[in-house]
Structure 1
Amino acid sequence: MKKLFCMVLVSMLAMPAAFAQDRYIADKLFTYMHSGPSNKYRIIGSVDAGEKVNLLESNKETGFSHIVDAKGRQGWVQTEFVTSQESMALRLPRLEKELADVKNKLANARSTSDSEKAGMAESLEMRNKQISELEQNYSEISNQLTDSQEEVRKLRAKLDTQKDDLLLKYFMYGGGVAGGGLLFGLILPSIMPRRKRKNSGWA
C-alpha cells in the first residue's frame, strides 16, 4: 500500500514538469525615478533599462544620481543603475547590423571566390585543351617530318642511282665513240691507199 502511494505521489510530482514549457524572463526592466535623492521622495515616473539619460550630479551619501531622461524629465535614480557603458538594448541592434554586414561581406567574398575559382577552372581547362591540341599538332607535324625525311632519303637514293646510270651511259657512250673512232682510224688508212693504187693503174 505504501509502495502504491509513493508511486502515485511521484507521478503527481512529475506531471507539472512534463507539461512545463521553456520561457525566459523579459529584459524590459525599469527603475523608479524619484523627485529627490532618496526612496523617501515621491515617485515621479520610471526609466526603462538601457535608456540613455543625462547625468547632472551624483549624491554619494544617499547613493542617488540626478538625471534627465529622454522625455526631458528630471529626477533621481539609484546610482548603481547608472553606468557609463552603453546598454545591450542599444548595442544589440548595432551588433546585429554589424553581424549582418559581416555575413553579407562573407557571402559576397565567397561568391567572388567561387566565381574566380570557376573562372580559373575554365581557364585551366581551356589551356589544357590548347596544350592537347598543340601536342596533337606536334605529333602530326613530327609524323609528316618523318615521312618527308623518308621521302627525301628515297629521292636521294633514286637520284644517286640515276647519276650512276647516267655516268655508266656516258662511259659506255664515250667508250663506244672512242672505240668507233679507233676502229675508223684503223680502217681509214687501209682504205685510202687502195684507192690511190687503183687510180694509178687506170692512168
Structure 2
Amino acid sequence: MKKLFYMVLVTMLAAPAAFAQDRYIADKLFTYMHSGPNNQYRIIGSVDAGEKVNLLQSNKETGYSEVVDEKGRKGWVQTRFITRQESMATRMPRLEKELAEVKNKLANARQSADSEKAGLAESLEVRNKQISELEKNYSDISNQLTASQEEVRKLRAKLDTQKDDLLLKYFMYGGGVAGGGLLFGLILPSIMPRRKRKNSGWV
C-alpha cells in the first residue's frame, strides 16, 4: 500500500515537470493614461510601449507627465516611462531593415569580389600562357640561331679548306708547268738535229 502511495506521489510531482515547456513573456507592454497627475484619477486609456507621444508638462511632485498620444488623447502617464530614446519595438524593424541592407551589400560586394577574383585569375592564366608561348618561341629561335651559327661555322671551315685546296692546286699546277717547261727545255735540244759546222780553212 505504501509502495503504491509513493508511486502516485512521484507521478504527481513529476507531471508538472513533464508538461513544462520553455516560453517567453511577450514584449507587448503598456502603461495606463490617467485624467490627472496621479493614479488616483480615472484611467482614460493606455499607451503601448514604443508609442510616440508629445510631452506637454511634467509634475515632479507626483512623478506624472501630461502627454498627447498618436490618437490625439490627452492624459497623464508616469514620467519614468517616458524617454527620449525610441523603444526596441520601434527600432527593431528599422534595425532589421538596415541589417538586411548591409547583408545585401555584403553579398553584392562578395559577389563582385568573387567576379573580380575570377577575372584576375583568368587574366593571370592568359598572361602565363602568353609567357609560356614566348618562352617556347624564344627557345625555338635560340635553337635555330645555334643551328645557324653551327652551319655558318661549318661553311666557313669548308670554305677555308677549299681555299687551301685551291691554293695547293695552283701551286701544284704552277710547279707542274715549271717542271714541264724545264724538262722540255732539257729534252728539246737533244731532239732537235744539230747543224754541221762548216770547216773554214785558210787558203
TM more than 0.5? yes
Taking the TM superposition and a 5 Å limit, the aligned residue runs for 1:1-203 are: 2=2, 4-186=4-186, 190=189, 197=195
RMSD (Å), alpha carbons: 2.5
Change (3 A) 1:11 1:156: farther
Q: Distance in 2 between matches of 1:5 and 1:185?
A: 165
- Which runs of 4 or more aligned residues in structure 1 lie more than 6 Å from their structure 2 counterparts after TM superposition? none
SS of the counterpart of 1:65? strand
SS of the counterpart of 1:12? helix
SS of the counterpart of 1:28? coil
SS of the counterpart of 1:22? coil
Q: Distance in 2 between matches of 1:25 and 1:108?
A: 38
Q: Distance in 2 between matches of 1:15 and 1:155?
A: 112
Q: Where does the alignment leave 5 or more consecutive residues of structure 1 unmatched? A: none
Shift of 1:194: 5.4
Give the counterpart letter for 2:5 in structure 1.
Answer: F
SS of the counterpart of 1:37? coil
Q: Distance in 2 between matches of 1:106 and 1:22?
A: 35
Count residues with an aligned counterpart: 198
- 1:87-111 Cα shifts (integer Å, max 9, x gaps): 1111111111111111111111111
Q: Distance in 1 between matches of 2:45 and 2:72?
A: 12
Q: Distance in 2 between matches of 1:3 and 1:109?
A: 70
Report the TM-score, using the length of structure 2 for normalisation. Answer: 0.85
Q: Distance in 1 between matches of 2:73 and 2:12?
A: 53
Report the TM-score, using the length of structure 1 for normalisation. Answer: 0.85
Shift of 1:186: 5.0
Farther-moved stretch of structure 1 (40-49 vs 61-70):
40-49
